[in-house]
């Protein structure tokens, strides 16, 4: 059986500096890659950057540089993405950039192949168009019927585009998701099936003509390939699929696991396998959708000014402490709440107290009582058995957790043993044994048992904190070559007359209160300025002539009934008195902001002469007017309400 292990992170958008959330996923992938290498697997660990798309094109334009210059700077520049991974000691075997020539030409060939097969076809993209943003949206992408980017009105529009026959693969995708453990954790399966597959998979628009920064469709170069096709196939082009740069598809594909954040599970568990099915390629063995890190209970975002900078934390507390904290504290499959306090407390409790203290005390005692080298004589004691059996069983308990990607639990197993070892010191009281020369062999046995326990723990901590684990192994006099996966399940590997090397304290204790204050000040000073608390959409630059404006028929309408539209999380259905004597039905995407019952009886404003359109199979005849703004990064909406003294049907002008 092959012992290859192919693991990937998502490829990151180089549109901004990466933050602790991105670092979280990469560190987890790195720990898994190192764990598998320790087990003797032939690991391929891929990461990279996803460099195309409208957002990058716009950012580059605003910065006055070309898109290529823009991404080069964020990826390769000083303090950029590659520098961050170097700092975090990320051991990726490969780094792909979607602007790499070999990838670009491979994407063109892949697109063409699916086109020739008939799985990509040319059609019309009928949707909504936001003129200020020059972007197309589907109905479901709109936020309250408005452009999700600028919040302004969109118009009905159509554009020539290529489509991927996603619908053709719906049954197979459902089977894939429900029939095994392709997608984990299991909760994500329900999410995908209920939210995306059951409502019906539509064909996917896979080309764009509204911007240029992408892989051109080589047989129709007005179009660029949809960024997600470009991005997802990185996992294969990086091995040499449809290119000559590498030749490792047979060796490593299919991927053993793609680690991805929860919001991109949809792309990885529906679109990606469907495209692979179309290309008749083996599917990845697993997609693991991890949770998000929030900061002080809030989503991290640039506009809130609360993104946590991994550089700052790594420089202040050490790379390994940060790596450790991320995987020790948050269960990988769920969301976690990052706080400075939690970080410092974890460093103090686990690293300074439990681990650091055990190592420094043990080494110091061997140094003090034996001049640094243990004699070979042994006298066993009753209390030894439990420690030895726990340390001997640790590797397998840890493996069970790690194989489920339960990093937090794997580490918890190690810390159970470390805390048992600390207790063992209290039970054996080496400082009392040391008082009597007759106890020398017993004291040496106690020290040896402690050193062995530390060896096993440090070996298994290695994937999480490689440098510190090496330092610990160095301090306890372990020969690194002997610290193998096999030996992690054996007690008694260190030579009987092992010699320790007293060294620096690895994890100094931090004064919580003082540090918190300082850290908060530094973070506040370094944080990008939060955007103003209230954001109002910019006013339209384009003038509308008076006559056109007057064509819009604004009327006061009274809400007779209002109810949620079944299966829609956004829409409310209004039955309105518009003064004509016949009820008017309008659907509005405002369910997030109002409870239906609170609107009954209110007098609202509607445009009543828009052509009727269908939403969720229901006709909507007109549009309700509301005010939209953003507060602290959160979208707010208020329906325009007028005095109830105004009769239904009154014209507003």
CB of 11 to ligand MSP, least distance (A): 5
Write the CB contacts of 198 (distance below 8 Å, at least 6 apart in sequence). none
Q: Which is nearer to ligand MSP, 45 or 554 (CB)?
A: 45
CB of 465 to ligand MSP, least distance (A): 20
Q: Which is nearer to ligand MSP, 27 or 249 (CB)?
A: 27
Beta-strand pair 207-208/204-205: unpaired
Per rule CB under 6 A, count of chain residues that contact ligand MSP: 19
CB of 13 to ligand MSP, least distance (A): 4
Q: Which is nearer to ligand MSP, 225 or 260 (CB)?
A: 260
> Which of the residues 197 through 256 are near ligand MSP (CB under 6 A)?
231-232, 234
542: left (phi over 0), alpha (psi -120 to 50) or beta: beta
Instruction: Please say whether the dihedral angle defined by the alpha carbons of residues 601, 604, 608 and 610, taken in this order, is positive or negative.
Output: negative
Q: Does 535 bind ligand MSP (CB under 6 A)?
A: no
Binding string, residues 262-281; x marks residues near ligand MSP by CB under 6 A: -xx-----------------
DSSP letter at 49?
Answer: E
CB of 547 to ligand MSP, least distance (A): 45
Q: Which is nearer to ligand MSP, 265 or 319 (CB)?
A: 265
DSSP letter at 3?
Answer: -
Q: Which is nearer to ligand MSP, 11 or 344 (CB)?
A: 11
Q: Does 292 bind ligand MSP (CB under 6 A)?
A: yes
> Which of the residues 29 through 68 are near ligand MSP (CB under 6 A)?
50
* Residue 162 exposed, middle or buried by CB count within 10 Å (0-12, 13-18, 19+): buried
Residue burial 617-643, b: 16+ Cβ < 10 Å; e: rest? eeebbbbbebebebebbebebebeeee
Q: Which is nearer to ligand MSP, 232 or 425 (CB)?
A: 232
Q: Which is nearer to ligand MSP, 36 or 266 (CB)?
A: 266
Between CA 383 and CA 430 the distance in angstroms is 13
Strands (E), 485-596: 534-536, 554-564, 572-577, 583-588
**CB atoms near residue 196 (< 10 Å):** 19
Are 279 and 254 in contact by the 8 Å Cβ rule? The answer is no
DSSP letter at 371?
Answer: T
Please, which contacts does 611-620 make with residues 24 or more away whose CB atoms are closer than 8 Å? 613/156, 615/139, 615/565, 615/568, 615/571, 615/587, 616/565, 616/567, 616/568, 616/571, 616/587, 618/565, 618/573, 618/585, 618/587, 619/585, 620/585, 620/586, 620/587, 620/588
Binding string, residues 245-264; x marks residues near ligand MSP by CB under 6 A: ---------------xx-xx
Q: Which is nearer to ligand MSP, 98 or 487 (CB)?
A: 98
Stretch that binds ligand MSP, among 179-187, 197-205, 292-300, 427-435 (CB under 6 A): 292-300
Q: Does 308 bind ligand MSP (CB under 6 A)?
A: no
CB of 142 to ligand MSP, least distance (A): 21
The residue whose two tokens read 């000559």 is: 244
User: Does an H or E element contain 174, and which?
Assistant: helix 170-178
The two structure tokens encoding residue 470? 């090496």
> Which of the residues 400 through 419 are near ligand MSP (CB under 6 A)?
none
Between CA 432 and CA 429 the distance in angstroms is 6
CB of 195 to ligand MSP, least distance (A): 17
Q: Which is nearer to ligand MSP, 60 or 489 (CB)?
A: 60
C-alpha separations of 314 from 20, 88, 343, 352, 528 in Å = 10, 8, 11, 16, 19
Name the phi and psi angles at 625, rounded to 5: -95, 135
> Per-residue DSSP letters for 181-205?
SSEESTHHHHHHIIIIITT-PPPEE
CB of 294 to ligand MSP, least distance (A): 7
CB of 98 to ligand MSP, least distance (A): 9
> Which of the residues 335 through 394 are near ligand MSP (CB under 6 A)?
none
Q: Does 300 bind ligand MSP (CB under 6 A)?
A: yes
Stretch that binds ligand MSP, among 8-16, 244-252, 357-365, 431-439 (CB under 6 A): 8-16
Q: Which is nearer to ligand MSP, 17 or 613 (CB)?
A: 17
The residue whose two tokens read 């390994």 is: 320
Q: Which is nearer to ligand MSP, 332 or 398 (CB)?
A: 332
Q: Where are the alpha helices (DSSP H) in 330-383?
A: 340-346, 357-370
Closest of 386, 167, 410, 187 to residue 277, by C-alpha: 167
Residue nearest ligand MSP, CB atom distance: 261
CB of 491 to ligand MSP, least distance (A): 38
> Which of the residues 10 through 29 are near ligand MSP (CB under 6 A)?
10-13, 21-22, 24-25
CB of 267 to ligand MSP, least distance (A): 7
Q: Which is nearer to ligand MSP, 189 or 275 (CB)?
A: 275
Are 179 and 173 in contact by the 8 Å Cβ rule? The answer is no
Q: Which is nearer to ligand MSP, 264 or 607 (CB)?
A: 264
Stretch that binds ligand MSP, among 4-12, 167-175, 181-189, 383-391 (CB under 6 A): 4-12
DSSP letter at 129?
Answer: E
Q: Does 510 bind ligand MSP (CB under 6 A)?
A: no
The single residue among 293, 314, 461, 472 that binds ligand MSP, judged by CB under 6 A, is: 293
CB of 351 to ligand MSP, least distance (A): 22
Write the CB contacts of 525 (distance below 8 Å, at least 6 apart in sequence). none
Q: Which is nearer to ligand MSP, 11 or 447 (CB)?
A: 11
* Residue 214 exposed, middle or buried by CB count within 10 Å (0-12, 13-18, 19+): buried
CB of 335 to ligand MSP, least distance (A): 8
> Which of the residues 128 through 187 are near ligand MSP (CB under 6 A)?
none
**CB atoms near residue 187 (< 10 Å):** 12
Closest of 367, 405, 404, 378 to residue 491, by C-alpha: 378
CB of 258 to ligand MSP, least distance (A): 8
CB of 424 to ligand MSP, least distance (A): 38
**CB atoms near residue 284 (< 10 Å):** 22
Stretch that binds ligand MSP, among 5-13, 87-95, 124-132, 469-477 (CB under 6 A): 5-13
What is the SS3 assignment for 287? strand
Q: Which is nearer to ligand MSP, 26 or 360 (CB)?
A: 26
Footprint on this chain of ligand MSP (rule: CB under 6 A): 10-13, 21-22, 24-25, 50, 231-232, 234, 260-261, 263-264, 292-293, 300
């Amino acid at each position: 059986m092959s012992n290859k292990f192919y693991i990937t992170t998502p490829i990151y958008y180089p549109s901004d500096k990466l933050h602790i959330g991105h670092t979280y996923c990469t560190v987890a992938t790195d720990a898994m890659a190192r764990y598998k290498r320790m087990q003797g697997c032939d690991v391929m660990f891929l990461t990279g950057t996803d460099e195309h798309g409208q957002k990058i094109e716009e950012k580059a334009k605003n910065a006055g540089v070309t898109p290529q210059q823009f991404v080069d700077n964020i990826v390769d520049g000083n303090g950029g993405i590659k520098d961050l991974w170097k700092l975090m000691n990320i051991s990726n075997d490969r780094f792909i950039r979607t602007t790499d020539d070999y990838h670009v030409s491979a994407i063109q060939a892949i697109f063409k192949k699916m086109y020739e097969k008939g799985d990509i076809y040319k059609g019309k993209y009928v949707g909504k168009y936001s003129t200020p943003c020059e972007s197309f949206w589907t109905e479901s992408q709109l936020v309250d019927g408005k452009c999700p980017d600028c919040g302004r009105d969109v118009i009905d529009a159509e554009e020539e585009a290529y489509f991927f026959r996603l619908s053709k693969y719906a049954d197979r995708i459902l089977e894939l998701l429900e029939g095994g453990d392709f997608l984990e954790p299991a909760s994500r399966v329900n999410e995908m099936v209920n939210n995306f597959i059951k409502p019906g998979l539509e064909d996917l628009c896979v080309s764009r003509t509204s911007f240029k920064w992408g892989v051109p469709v080589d047989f129709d170069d007005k179009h660029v390939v949809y960024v997600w096709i470009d991005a997802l196939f990185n996992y294969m082009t990086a091995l040499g699929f449809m290119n000559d740069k590498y030749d490792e598809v047979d060796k490593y594909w299919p991927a053993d696991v793609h680690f991805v954040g929860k919001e991109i599970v949809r792309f990885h568990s529906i679109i990606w396998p469907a495209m692979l099915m179309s290309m008749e390629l083996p599917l990845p063995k697993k997609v693991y959708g991890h949770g998000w890190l929030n900061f002080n209970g809030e989503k991290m975002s640039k506009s809130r000014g609360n993104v946590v900078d991994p550089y700052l934390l790594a420089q202040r507390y050490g790379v390994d402490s940060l790596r450790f904290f991320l995987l020790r504290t948050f269960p990988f499959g769920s969301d976690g709440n990052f706080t400075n306090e939690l970080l410092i407390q974890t460093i103090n409790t686990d690293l300074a107290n439990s681990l650091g203290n055990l190592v420094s005390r043990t080494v110091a005692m061997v140094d003090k009582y034996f001049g640094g080298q243990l004699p070979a004589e042994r006298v066993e004691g009753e209390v030894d058995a439990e420690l030895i059996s726990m340390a001997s069983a640790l590797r397998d308990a840890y493996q069970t957790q790690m194989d489920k990607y339960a990093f937090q639990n794997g580490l918890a197993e190690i810390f159970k043993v470390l805390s048992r070892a600390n207790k063992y010191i209290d039970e054996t009281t080496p400082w009392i044994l040391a008082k009597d020369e007759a106890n020398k062999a017993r004291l040496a046995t106690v020290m040896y048992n402690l050193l062995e326990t530390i060896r096993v723990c440090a070996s298994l901590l290695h994937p999480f904190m490689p440098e510190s684990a090496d330092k610990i192994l160095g301090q306890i006099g372990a020969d690194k070559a002997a610290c193998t996966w096999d030996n992690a399940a054996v007690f008694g590997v260190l030579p009987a007359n092992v010699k320790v090397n007293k060294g620096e304290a690895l994890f100094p204790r931090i004064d919580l209160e003082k540090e918190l204050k300082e850290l908060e000040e530094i973070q506040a000073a370094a944080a990008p300025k939060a955007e103003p608390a209230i954001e109002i959409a910019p006013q339209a630059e384009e003038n509308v002539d008076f006559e056109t404006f007057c064509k819009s028929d604004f009327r006061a309408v009274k809400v007779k009934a209002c109810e949620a539209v079944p299966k829609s999380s956004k829409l409310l259905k209004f039955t309105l008195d518009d003064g004509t004597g016949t009820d008017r039905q309008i659907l509005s995407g405002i369910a997030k902001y109002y409870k239906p019952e609170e609107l009954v009886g209110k007098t609202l404003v509607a445009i009543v002469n828009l052509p009727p359109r269908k939403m969720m199979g229901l006709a909507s005849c007109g549009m309700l007017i509301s005010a939209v703004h953003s507060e602290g990064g959160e979208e707010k909406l208020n329906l325009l309400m007028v005095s109830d003294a105004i009769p239904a049907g009154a014209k507003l002008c």
